[in-house]
Amino acid sequence: MTDARAKTLIMNRRSFMQRALSTGSVIIAGAALPGLGMPRPVAAAIIGSDKQRPQLPYGVASGDVTHDRAIVWSRSDRAARLFVEYATDEKFTRSVRVNGPAALEDSDFTARVELTDLPPGQDIFYRVAFQSLEDAKIFSEPLTGHLRTAPAGRQPIRFQWSGDTAGQGWGINTEWGGMKIYETMRQANPDFFIHCGDYIYADGPIEAEVSLPDGSLWKNIVTEETSKVAETLREFRGNYAYNLMDENVRRFNAQVPQLVQWDDHETLNNWYPSEILASDDRYTEKSVALLSARAKRAFLEYTPIRLSAEDPERIYRAIHYGPSLDVFVIDMRSYRGPNSANRQPESSEETAFLGRPQIRWLKQQLLASKATWKVIASDMPIGLIVPDGKDAFENLANGDGPALGRELEMADLLRFVKYNAISNVVWLTADVHYTAAHFYDPSKAQFSDFNPFWEFVSGPLNAGTFGPNDLDNTFGPQVMYQKAPPQGQVNLPPSAGMQFYGQVDIAGDSEVMTVSLRDLTGANLYSVDLEPVV
């Protein structure tokens, strides 16, 4: 792609979204909406008072985009049928209509459709409307969004990643400008965004005011569902709805497709499936298996994830984004054994982290990948120690020394990558609430039977800033860069400026991958060019 064409595409997308989002992400077509099957004129199609029309309070979103398909998501405020109209130009010339499912109570009125047979490497403009199930003549006002399909050939790709939204009591502060980092990321016009987990903080109640060290107040929007730890399905759903109250988030979602995964705070801190909350008085429901089932239901309802036909609750999946890039979204939460001292000498159910079926799937995907770059989107870093109490570990890292416990699973995967000559594997993650670049060097590792690789960490998006974490030398991580709060300072608010995301640019001709770590303002803190091995 020429620089001129790339600039034109960016300007087209930017001008479209500026117009679309200038009134809260809403466009009301000025003439007919033939793609939605609405009669002429629009005034006749969208009839009735606001109380009669379905409303779309949480905007639109897209996700899991490939070269020819994408998921489009939205939510009605009542029982209604979803319609999506899309075209390759902002005037919706020769648009295509997709009749979606009914949004009903059992999905909290959320709904999605999969757009198929899309042209590769193309800007797709879409608009979403809901039709009343009580009166077929009544439609909502349409909301408009944008996505870009993966290229069929080698073209420039830009994407971003981060994690950790609305954590540690830092919610939506409209006086400060809301979740401002989402607007910073949107303005860079990425092709897609990877949310690496902690999409919500179901275990972190949000209070109306938080006192800051300088004597000022951080003022949050508050809701009933976020005022306590989430236990019921309604409360988990309410946490997702809360984040979508932020204008920056809705604007971002309408322009940038997402690849989403989950970590612990979608349920509760440091959870594992067999856990029982015997000593946590905040919870009346003590079974984490039940809490996580409700949490996963809400996650799948409120995110634009492609649901697996084989296993509708499966989160791990592969996104093939053209010949230059495959993204493997993994799940380090659903299949793990209990958090323990994590020093078992042999693999067992207790040492599971990804779990055998997922490890087998990931190996097969890596082996079959024909893409130049293989990005593993991980919800936790490999070599950072994350304790869970005094004598247990939340992460696979368990302290310096040979591979033991959960580390055995990672050692097996890294060895497989080496002996099958799988090149250009890069790990992207969040979780620890600071930003860092790690180079894993087998010459400095206790377990050395692997090829060197990079891991990049970035976050939070709108949560407290912590760190840095201690390194575990098992796989030889070397800190090439990190930015975290000064020693002794913890849980810094978003207004301190230490909110982080990462950006990846893959050149269309050379396929050089440039990874940059960026802050709340978009400033480039650190970057490195990775040459592909061919």
Quick one: average pLDDT of 432-458?
98
- Residues in CB range of 49: below 8 A, 6 or more apart: none
Average pLDDT of the chain, as a whole number? 92
pLDDT band, very low/low/confident/very high, at 42 (cuts 50, 70, 90): very low
User: Is the domain 157-530 a CATH 3.60.21.70 member?
Assistant: yes
pLDDT band, very low/low/confident/very high, at 36 (cuts 50, 70, 90): very low
How deeply is 250 buried, as exposed, middle or buried, from its count of CB atoms within 10 A (0-12, 13-18, 19+)?
buried
Task: Look at residues 194, 75, 165 and name the one whose alpha carbon lies nearest to residue 129.
Answer: 75
Q: With beta carbons less than 8 A apart as the criterion, state whether 264 and 432 touch.
A: no
DSSP code of residue 275: -
pLDDT for the residue numbered 30: 29
pLDDT for the residue numbered 3: 47
Beta strand 317-320 with 258-260: parallel, antiparallel or unpaired? unpaired
Burial 318-329 (b: 16+ CB within 10 A, else e): bbebbbbbbbbb
pLDDT for the residue numbered 18: 52
CA-CA distance, 438 to 479, in Å (whole number)?
5
For 337, half-sphere exposure in the C-beta direction (CA atoms, 13 angstrom radius) is 20
- Residues in CB range of 91: below 8 A, 6 or more apart: none
pLDDT band, very low/low/confident/very high, at 48 (cuts 50, 70, 90): low
In this predicted structure, the answer to whether residue 232 has a pLDDT above a threshold of 70 is yes
Give the pair of three-digit tokens for residue 443: 């010459």
pLDDT digits (tens, 9 = 90+) for 192-217: 999 999 999 999 999 999 999 999 99
Expressed in percent and rounded to 5, the helix, strand and coil fractions of the chain are 20, 25, 55
User: Please, what sign has the CA dihedral across residues 350, 231, 105, 75?
Assistant: negative
CA-CA distance, 302 to 237, in Å (whole number)?
8
DSSP codes of every residue in 350-396: GG-SS-HHHHHHHHHHHHH--SSEEEEE-SS-SSB--B-SSS-BSSS
CA-CA distance, 306 to 97, in Å (whole number)?
19
pLDDT digits (tens, 9 = 90+) for 395-441: 999 999 999 999 999 999 999 999 999 999 999 999 999 999 999 99
pLDDT band, very low/low/confident/very high, at 349 (cuts 50, 70, 90): very high
pLDDT digits (tens, 9 = 90+) for 140-195: 999 999 999 999 999 999 999 999 999 999 999 999 999 999 999 999 999 999 99
The percentage of the chain sitting over the pLDDT mark of 70, rounded to a whole number, equals 91
The model's pTM: 0.92
Quick one: average pLDDT of 49-63?
91
- Phi, psi (deg, nearest 5) at residue 199: -65, -30
Provide the residue ranges of all domains of the chain, joining segments of one domain with +.
Answer: 3-148, 157-530
DSSP code of residue 232: S
In this predicted structure, the answer to whether residue 5 has a pLDDT above a threshold of 60 is no
How deeply is 160 buried, as exposed, middle or buried, from its count of CB atoms within 10 A (0-12, 13-18, 19+)?
buried
- Which has the higher per-residue pLDDT, 50 or 325? 325
Long-range contacts of 522-529 (CB under 8 A, 24+ apart): 522/184, 522/185, 522/187, 522/188, 525/435, 525/481, 525/483, 525/500, 526/437, 526/480, 526/481, 526/483, 528/437, 528/454, 528/480
The percentage of the chain sitting over the pLDDT mark of 90, rounded to a whole number, equals 89
Q: What 3-state DSSP class applies to 249?
A: helix
What is the spatial order of strands in the sheet that 425-429 belongs to?
Answer: 317-320, 325-329, 373-377, 425-429, 453-457, 435-440, 477-483
- Which has the higher per-residue pLDDT, 82 or 23? 82
pLDDT digits (tens, 9 = 90+) for 14-27: 555 454 444 333 33
pLDDT for the residue numbered 299: 98
Quick one: average pLDDT of 314-333?
98
In this predicted structure, the answer to whether residue 328 has a pLDDT above a threshold of 80 is yes
Task: Look at residues 452, 491, 506, 508 and name the one whose alpha carbon lies nearest to residue 475.
Answer: 452
Tally: H helices and E strands in the chain: 8, 22
CA-CA distance, 321 to 531, in Å (whole number)?
19
CA-CA distance, 358 to 317, in Å (whole number)?
10
Quick one: average pLDDT of 439-465?
98
CA-CA distance, 102 to 481, in Å (whole number)?
49
pLDDT for the residue numbered 52: 87
pLDDT for the residue numbered 430: 98
DSSP code of residue 281: T
pLDDT digits (tens, 9 = 90+) for 292-319: 999 999 999 999 999 999 999 999 999 9
From the options 3.40.50.970, 3.60.15.10, 3.40.50.10490, 2.60.40.380, give the CATH code of 3-148.
2.60.40.380
Q: What 3-state DSSP class applies to 240?
A: helix
Beta strand 80-87 with 123-132: parallel, antiparallel or unpaired? antiparallel
DSSP code of residue 110: E
Query: What residues pair up with 123 in beta bridges, in sequence order?
Result: 148
DSSP codes of every residue in 422-480: ---EEEEE--SSSEEEEEE-GGG-SS--S--EEEEE---SBS-B--PPPB-GGG-EEEE
Mapped to the 3 state alphabet, what secondary structure does 183-198 carry?
A: HHHHCCCCCEEEECCC
